[in-house]
Amino acid sequence: MFPLSHMLKRFIQTGRLDVIDADGRRHVFEGTPGRTVVMRLSDRALYRKLVFNPDMSAGEAYTEGTLSFEEGSSLRDFLALFSDNRRGLGSYPLQKFVRKLSGPLRQRRLSNVVGKAQENVAHHYDLGNDFYRLFLDANMLYSCAYFRQESDSLETAQRNKLRLLASKLDLKPGQRVLDIGSGWGDLALYIAAMEEVEVLGVTLSTEQQKLSTERAAAAGLSNRVRFKLLDYRKVTGKFDRIVSVGMFEHVGLSHYDEFFGQINALMPDDGIALLHSIGHMSPPARTSSWLRKYIFPGAYSPSLSEVFSVVERHSLWVADVEVLRLHYAKTLAIWEERFQANRPTVVEMYGERFARMWEFYLLSCETMFRTGAQMVFHLQLCRERTAVPIVRDYTVDTQRRYAAREAEMLPAE
């Protein structure tokens, strides 16, 4: 099983990994006491592929069924064992060389020019609304929830998130709000329900734009909330408030200047912009090659240093930063649980291979947020330092006011 056996001896420093090879032989790799995982490899080509590109090869092999787990072990168990031994893999000489080589290519891979960006979005978000209803909350929010209490349901935590975001916008009656990457419309509709403002949501997903428009009509808000199939770079006019949730990950590193330049151009001097994005707490690194190829083409989660340097070039004030550390891990765990509950339907819709691919996606992402470097950050930006109050108290007061209004206006769970 060489050269994989050579790497696994360095990799497994805690716990035990039993590998049953393509000929049925068992190989044991063991470190200090810890969890035990039994994995079967039914393709000899994996002995090399998992060494030279473990991220891509593991995802592909699990999707195809050539990498599987036995004797009570699961993909979740393996990913936990991987996390326990992350440093062992990172110190393996070949992996260090690959990371060094791939660094300069990071920016070149992340192209999201106009047109290509819509193609990338359609790859993921146009799978069909019925599919996403199988595991998202009732209002179809596909981003990190905010768990104020450990016992919060997904629906409650997503409502918490909307309330938090809206409070940070410091909304005033009569303002114009732009929602970049408006998803299925829930944030735009929430904002309009809480305040007498006009909201324009822009998305590159035809499925999302269609459902969002239908939801605005059903809520009686079509006169104040509109959704367009439009690239954010083609938006014109001025907006008092700009918000973007879960879209910045798709902008692409080479387009950051373009993104923040447009934010600056669309805001008046007293405007506020709020960015909710996945990022990571470590120095700049490459995105998972498997995730970029099969789930989110063109995606990249930045380190804060990559974001701040561009914000500074566009003379924007960073009025506030908040880092959500474990909230997305809990969100993903609930999504995966609901996905598994509806797995037979997923298989019926898209086949077993697709179901395994999405299992790998949801579980690997949960692991990255629970024990890896991934996190979510809120970045509040403005052109003038006086655009927002100088203390955070206003967000707490506003959240309380919105919670009371929700109880009056919005249906209970």
- 253 lies in the same domain as 354: yes
Mean of pLDDT values over 61-81: 97
Q: Which residues are CB-neighbours of 411 under 8 A, at least 6 positions away? A: none
Mean of pLDDT values over 172-179: 98
pLDDT confidence of residue 286: 81
- 309 lies in the same domain as 402: yes
pLDDT at 110 over 60: no
- 124 lies in the same domain as 67: no
pLDDT confidence of residue 106: 47
Q: How far apart are CA 283 and CA 261, in angstroms?
A: 24
- 226 lies in the same domain as 339: yes
Mean of pLDDT values over 94-112: 52
Type of residue numbered 131: F
Q: Measured in whole angstroms, how far is the alpha carbon of residue 67 from the centre of its chain?
A: 25
- Name the domain boundary from 60, 76, 108: 108
For 19-68, write each residue's pLDDT tens digit.
Answer: 999 999 999 999 999 999 999 999 999 999 999 899 899 999 999 999 99
pLDDT at 102 over 80: no
Q: How far apart are CA 378 and CA 384, in angstroms?
A: 18
- 381 lies in the same domain as 404: yes
- 194 lies in the same domain as 103: no
pLDDT at 271 over 90: yes
Residue 375 is part of a domain; what is its CATH number? 3.40.50.150
Q: Kindly state the DSSP code that residue 244 receives in the 8-state scheme.
A: E
Mean per-residue pLDDT over the chain, rounded: 91
Which region among 40-54, 102-116, 219-233, 308-322 has the lowest average model confidence (pLDDT)? 102-116
Between residues 117 and 307, the one the model is more confident about: 307
What range does the domain containing 60 cover? 4-108
Catalytic residue among 110, 365, 375, 381: 365
- 204 lies in the same domain as 339: yes
- 103 lies in the same domain as 129: no
- 207 lies in the same domain as 92: no
Give yes or no: 144 in active site: no
Mean of pLDDT values over 87-109: 55
Q: How far apart are CA 254 and CA 307, in angstroms?
A: 11
pLDDT confidence of residue 298: 81
pLDDT confidence of residue 97: 46
Give the C-alpha distances (Å, rounded to integers) separating 196 from 184, 188, 251: 21, 12, 30
Torsion of CA 247, 253, 257, 258, to 10 degrees: -50
Mean of pLDDT values over 290-315: 93
Location of structure tokens 């090869």: 57
- Name the domain boundary from 81, 108, 135: 108
Mean of pLDDT values over 160-179: 98
- 187 lies in the same domain as 280: yes
Number of domains in the chain: 2
- Name the domain boundary from 91, 108, 125: 108
- 125 lies in the same domain as 82: no
Q: Kindly state the DSSP code that residue 410 receives in the 8-state scheme.
A: S
pLDDT at 273 over 60: yes
Question: Which tokens in the block code for residue 209?
Answer: 């734009």
Question: Which tokens in the block code for residue 293?
Answer: 């190829």
The β-bridge partners of 68 are 40
Q: How far apart are CA 7 and CA 89, in angstroms?
A: 8
- 189 lies in the same domain as 337: yes
